[in-house]
Structure 1
Amino acid sequence: MYPFYRYTKSIVKAIAARKQGDTVDLDDVAEMQFRCSLTDIDNYLEMNNGRVFTLYDLGRTDFAIRSGLGKKLLEKRWGLVVAGSTIQYRKRIRAFDLVTIKTRIAAIDERWIYVEQSMWVKGKPCSSALLRTGVTKGGRVIDTQQVLDAIGRPNWDLPPAGYVAEWIESDADRPWPPQM
């Protein structure tokens, strides 16, 4: 089940933080913390891999609100979409661990915003994800320049480079729909 209570709580905290001046810029790394709960774990008593992706939603929402994008999403009736992702797991997260999610924009192109997220426990990285995300209007992804204009950063530029560019290129070679 989707963690609606935790999601709502994280939105309220992000709004309060923004009102108190705890904002993030597009170049910043946003951090938020939570405890791994019993509803997050699997039969191996560690955080379920599917739950990791779900909880990364909270980190992206926190970043959007604290950066000012959240307000523009509401004003313009825009939505957010994840159009692709890759993830690596390196360390287990156990029940009741204090987890820090770090979220940053890794790159941006004409259509997509590439977001990098990681989960940390006791200063050690546990997982890292790279996501291709977009802003939508009427069910269609809009140009990122329109988003940057709306949030007052029309000249902000962070083209894909390194592993992000390699992932984009590799993912473009992947057949769709899959040949089965």
Structure 2
Amino acid sequence: MYPFLRLTQNIISSATAYHKSKKSGTVAGLTDTTEYRFTANVNDIDNFFEMNNGRILTLFDLGRNDFAIRTGLGKKLVQKRWGLVVAGSTIQYRKRVRLFDKVLMKTRVCAIDDKWFYMEQTMWVGGKCTCHALLRTAVTNFMTGKPIPTAQVLSSLGYDGVSLPPDEWVQVWIDADKQRPFPH
């Protein structure tokens, strides 16, 4: 089941942090890395006593939600009736996350093109990276589901003319994903 209680806590804590940072003039920028902390709980653990891979992807949703709120994008989403969508992802797992582990999640935009925001997310336990994800995401019109051009989203946030080309490893993934056939 989707962690709605944790989502509610995430929204409240992220919004509180955003308002505090706005007062102090330290709002997270679009190119900053945000950090979200949580503890692995019983609902996250599978029959092998580790965090389930599906749950990890779901918790990454909360990290992107936190990022959106802390950068001011969350406010624009509500004002303009926009939504967020994931259109592709790849993930590597390196270390198990166990029950009651204290987890630090890091989220950042690592590249932008005319249609997509590429997000990089990691989870850390005890100073070691447990998993690393790359996601192709977009801001969409909530009613139609159609993607909003990144230039329009950036402009609404005051980032006109921002360019964030992909690092080589991100570009390789983008190119490889274009070659992938989609079933018809």
Equivalent residue of 1:10, what SS?
A: helix
1:100-115 → structure 2 map (5 Å cutoff): 100-115=104-119
Match of 1:159 in 2: 165
Match of 1:136 in 2: 140
Counterpart residue type for residue 53 of structure 2: N
Who is 2:13 aligned against? 13
Matched, 1:170 2:165: no
Output the aligned Cα RMSD.
0.9
TM-superposed CA distance for 1:161, in Å, is 2.7
Runs of 4+ in 1 over 3 A off after TM superposition: none
The equivalences for 1:27-42 within 5 A come to 27-42=31-46
Q: Which residue pairs with 1:119 in the alignment?
A: 123
Instruction: Tell me the alpha carbon deviations over residues 68-126 of structure 1, each in whole angstroms, 9 at most, x when there is no partner.
Output: 00000000000100000000000000000000000000100000000000000011000
Amino acid paired to 1:52: I
- Give the aligned partner of residue 65 of structure 1: 69
Aligned to 1:23, the other structure's residue is in SS state coil
Aligned residue pairs total 178
Q: 1:47 and 1:67 mapped to 2: Cα distance? A: 28
Q: Distance in 2 between matches of 1:63 and 1:113?
A: 13
Secondary structure, in 3 states, of the residue corresponding to 1:158? coil
1:25 aligns with 2:26: no
Q: Which amino acid aligns with 1:147?
A: V
Which region of structure 1 is more displaced relative to structure 2, 49-58 or 15-24? 15-24
Q: CA deviation at 1:12?
A: 0.4
Q: Secondary structure at the match of 1:141?
A: coil
Q: TM-score, normalised by structure 2?
A: 0.95
In structure 1, runs of 5+ residues without a counterpart are none
> Aligned to 2:48, which of 44, 49, 57?
44
SS in structure 2 opposite 1:56? Answer: helix
Query: How far apart are residue 37 of structure 1 and its match?
Result: 0.2
Other structure's SS at 2:30 match: coil
Which amino acid is the alignment partner of residue 11 of structure 1? I
- What is the TM-score when the length of structure 1 is the normalising length? 0.97
Structure 2 counterpart of 1:110, one-letter code: D
Structure 2 stretches lacking a partner, 5+ long: none
* 1:95 and 2:99 correspond: yes
Identity %: 56
1:149 matched to which residue of 2?
155
- Cα distance in 2 between the residues matched to 1:130 and 1:38: 26
